[in-house]
Amino acid sequence: MPTLTSAPNRYAVIPALGITQILAWGSSYYLLAVLAVPIADDTGWSLSWIVGGLSIGLLMSGAVSPRVGRLIERRGGRTALILSAVFLSLGLAITGIAPNLIVYIFAWVLIGLGMGFGLYDPAFSTLARLYGTEARSAITALTLFGGFASTVCWPLSAYLTAQFGWREACLIYAAIHAGITLPIYILALPNDDDDAAQRPSALTPKDHRPTSKPDSLMFAFLALVFAVGSLISAALSVHLLTILQGHGLSLAVAVGLGTLVGPSQVGARFIEMLIGHRHHSVWTKIASTLLVAAGLGMLWSDVSIASVALIAYGAGIGLDSIARGTVPLSIYGAQRYPSVMGKLAVGNLLAQAIMPVAGAYLIGALGAQTTLGFLAAAATLNVAATGVVYALIKRAPIKSA
């Protein structure tokens, strides 16, 4: 059985996983924000079907997430992450050579498998297996890297498309996963059999005891609060500019305001990294839901304070990524964490897959203002649901996490 000192050095593992998270998010979830229009212009395919490739990928990701969680729980995360790099590389390569829409959609099925095996939830589970419940700070640090995915890859995708074309951009990303991401996983992570997180000392340090026998009610409310958070962020990641323009703002002003969201996410995550050890992780989720609800409420009621509203919203969704990784860890412990995360990911990914289309329908049917009111109401109800999670944790035998 490995000793405590045999756990991989987190100062090597976290930057390594951080680089791969930037590349994985940037070449999958954020890819079509830049490439969708060039693909449509070049091929004549329906823009709805082109963007729908991402939704299909997310549905596939949600379908495999429980199995991925069980795989990581049994064997550790190295195998899952290696498979992620393989699927992303294959999917992007096929996207780049797709002769028709059917092959393009099939490519997104493979990309979806890569997302399911390698985005945040599997990466968080891998860290939990390596470092036990002491992985909280590692998870927080990893989200700092992930926050730069669009910042790095949107300009990169735009440059590659402008210089070489969208097909070549996909092929270059495929080569990056084969030549960079895959070797990082192979070299930076220990063999699954060497996983150190099964040691009792790593699973339950003295100041962090997971709840014993978490009940189905706890899981149901956890799934609810994280799915609603994903629903809101998925809707606004696609439709924020449309909603702002629906309030009478010009496109240039809307874009300028939209740029406040990213730095606010990273700033909130950095603050959490500094002070997170002082409070239970559920307070991170409480702060997240309060900030999102406040931000959307302010934006709905008074567009003149949109800058303040979007800073609050951005900080809230930034904290949500951390809470999604750390709250289940504090409740279920590191040993059960991967399978729990795999199950929780289903609702998150389904929301991300469905809400961009549903949001477009709501905006078309009800208008931008009413749609924003709907999202603000959902965010407010999510505050109450998070309060239930807090009450259930208080009821359970748990110390600070």
- CATH number, residue 167: 1.20.1250.20
* pLDDT of residue 7 exceeding 70: no
Identify whether residues 228 and 198 lie together within a single domain.
no
Q: Could you tell me if residue 163 is inside a domain?
A: yes
* pLDDT of residue 199 exceeding 80: no
Alpha carbon distances (Å) from 349 to 16, 93, 305, 332: 25, 24, 31, 21
Identify whether residues 121 and 228 lie together within a single domain.
no
* pLDDT confidence of residue 391: 92
Let me know the angle formed at the C-alpha of 180 by 179 and 182, rounded to the nearest 5 degrees. Answer: 80
Q: DSSP letter for 181, please.
A: I
With a CB cutoff of 8 Å and minimum separation 6, the contacts of 25 are 119, 146, 149, 150, 153
Identify whether residues 154 and 230 lie together within a single domain.
no
The residue type of 53 is G
Identify whether residues 256 and 383 lie together within a single domain.
yes
Q: Could you tell me if residue 114 is inside a domain?
A: yes
Identify whether residues 222 and 336 lie together within a single domain.
yes
Q: 55 is in which domain, residue-wise?
A: 4-203
First to last CA, the chain: 26
Alpha carbon distances (Å) from 337 to 59, 149, 198, 289, 324: 22, 25, 12, 22, 11
Which of 123, 316, 132 is closest to 207 using CA atoms?
A: 132
Identify whether residues 137 and 225 lie together within a single domain.
no
375, exposed or middle or buried, with CB in 10 Å at 0-12, 13-18, 19+? buried
Q: Which of 223-227, 232-236, 269-273 has the highest mean pLDDT?
A: 223-227
* pLDDT of residue 212 exceeding 90: no
Q: Could you tell me if residue 50 is inside a domain?
A: yes
Contact 375, 237 (CB under 8 A): no
Identify whether residues 197 and 226 lie together within a single domain.
no
Share of the chain above pLDDT 90, in %: 48
Identify whether residues 52 and 85 lie together within a single domain.
yes
Dist CA 244 CA 76 (whole Å): 44
* pLDDT confidence of residue 192: 64
Task: Give me the count of residues in the chain.
Answer: 401
* pLDDT of residue 100 exceeding 80: yes
Counting the structural domains of the chain, the total is: 2
Which of 229, 223, 234 is closest to 341 using CA atoms?
A: 223
At 298-342, the pLDDT tens digits run 999 988 898 999 999 999 999 998 998 889 988 888 888 888 998
Mean pLDDT over each residue of the chain, to the nearest integer: 86
Identify whether residues 156 and 242 lie together within a single domain.
no
* pLDDT confidence of residue 1: 35
Q: Could you tell me if residue 209 is inside a domain?
A: no
Identify whether residues 239 and 350 lie together within a single domain.
yes
Identify whether residues 316 and 364 lie together within a single domain.
yes
Contact 33, 156 (CB under 8 A): no
With a CB cutoff of 8 Å and minimum separation 6, the contacts of 394 are none
Sorting pLDDT into bands at 50, 70 and 90, what band is 274?
confident
* pLDDT of residue 6 exceeding 70: no
Query: What integer is the mean pLDDT of 122-143?
Result: 88
Identify whether residues 253 and 115 lie together within a single domain.
no
* pLDDT confidence of residue 207: 37
Q: Could you tell me if residue 400 is inside a domain?
A: no
* pLDDT confidence of residue 397: 52
Last residue of a domain, one of 169, 203, 237: 203
Last residue of a domain, one of 139, 172, 203: 203
* pLDDT of residue 27 exceeding 80: yes
Query: What integer is the mean pLDDT of 120-133?
Result: 89
Which of 64, 53, 91 is closest to 178 using CA atoms?
A: 91
* pLDDT of residue 364 exceeding 50: yes
Contact 102, 120 (CB under 8 A): no
